[in-house]
Structure 1
Amino acid sequence: SSMGKKYRQVRMFILLLCVSVFVVLRERVAEVSLENFSPFHDTSSCACGKCLSEDDVWFTQRFNKSVEPFLSAKHSLSEAAFRWWKLEKRNFIYYSATVDNLFKTFPATPDVEASSDRCRTCAVVGNSGNLNGSRYGPLIDFHDVIIRMNTGRTKGYEADVGKRTTHHVMYPESAVDLDNTTHLVLVPFKIQDLEWLIKAFTTGFSGIQLFSPRNDVSIQLD
Structure 2
Amino acid sequence: MNFLGLSRAAACFQRTRGVYGDSMNARSVAMRLVFALFQRKRLVILLCVGLCMTELYYTMNTLESDVESESHWKPFLTSKSLYLLMDRPFRRKAEEVLWFHELPFGLKSSVLFAFNTLQLLPEQELPGSFGRLWCQRCIVVGNGHSIHGQRFGNLIDSHHIIIRLNDAPVREYKKDVGERTSIRLFFPESALPNTLENNDNDTLMVFVPFKPSDFLWLREVLLKTRNKTKVGFWHQPPQQWNGNISQLRILNPYVTYEATYKLLQLNASSRRYATMGIIALNLALHICQEVNIAGFGYPGNHDNAAPIHYYNTGRSRKEEFIHYNLTAEGNWLLKMIERGVIADLASPAFQAQNH
Please give the residue correspondences for 1:30-179 in structure 2 after superposition, counting only pairs within 5 Å.
65-66=71-72, 68-69=74-75, 71-76=77-82, 84-85=101-102, 92=109, 95-107=110-122, 109-110=124-125, 117-119=132-134, 120-176=136-192, 177-179=194-196
Take 2:225 and 2:131, find their aligned partners in 1: how far apart are those partners?
41
- Specify whether residues 122 and 205 from structure 1 end up closer, same or farther in structure 2 by C-alpha distance, changes over 3 A only: farther
| Percent of aligned positions that are identical | 29
Q: Secondary structure at the match of 1:85?
A: coil
Describe the shift of the 1:65–1:112 C-alpha distance in structure 2 as closer, same or farther (beyond 3 A).
farther
User: What secondary structure does 1:188 align onto?
Assistant: coil
Q: Secondary structure at the match of 1:118?
A: coil
Report deviation, 1:204.
3.4
> Is the partner of 2:219 in helix, strand or coil?
helix
Rg larger for: 2
Q: Report the structure, 1 or 2, having the larger helix content.
A: 2
* Count of residues in correspondence between the two structures: 159
Q: Secondary structure at the match of 1:151?
A: coil
Q: Take 2:163 and 2:217, find their aligned partners in 1: how far apart are those partners? A: 22
Q: 1:80 deviation in Å?
A: 7.0
Which consecutive residues of structure 1, in runs of 5 or more, have no partner in the other structure? 1-38, 44-63
Give the alignment's Cα RMSD to 1 decimal. Answer: 3.7
Q: 1:172 to 1:109 in 2, by over 3 A?
A: closer
Q: Distance between the aligned counterparts of 1:116 and 1:192, measured in 2?
A: 31
d(CA) in 1 for partners of 2:98, 2:131: 35
- Tell me if the contact between 1:125 and 1:149 (Cα under 8 Å) persists in the aligned partners: yes
Secondary structure, in 3 states, of the residue corresponding to 2:206? Answer: strand
Question: Given the superposition, is the C-alpha separation of residues 152 and 84 from structure 1 closer, same or farther in structure 2, using an over 3 Å criterion?
Answer: same
Aligned partners of 1:208 and 1:109: how far apart in 2? Answer: 24
Asked if the contact 2:141/2:165 (under 8 Å) is kept, the reply is yes
Are residues 133 and 145 of structure 1, via their aligned partners in 2, closer, same or farther at CA, if it must alter by over 3 Å? Answer: same
Contact 2:137 2:161 in 1 (8 A): yes
Q: 1:151 to 1:109 in 2, by over 3 A?
A: closer
User: Which residue of 2 is the match for residue 206 of structure 1?
Assistant: 227
Contact residue 76 and residue 124 of structure 2 kept, 8 A:
no
Which amino acid in 2 is paired with 1:123?
Answer: I
Name the SS of the counterpart of 2:146 in structure 1.
Answer: coil
Residue aligned with 1:157, SS = helix
Residues 132-161 of structure 1: CA deviation (Å, up to 9, x unaligned): 111110011111211100122213211110
For residues 108-167 of structure 1, the C-alpha deviation after alignment (integer angstroms, 9 at most, x for no partner) is 545689x99533321110111211111110011111211100122213211110011121
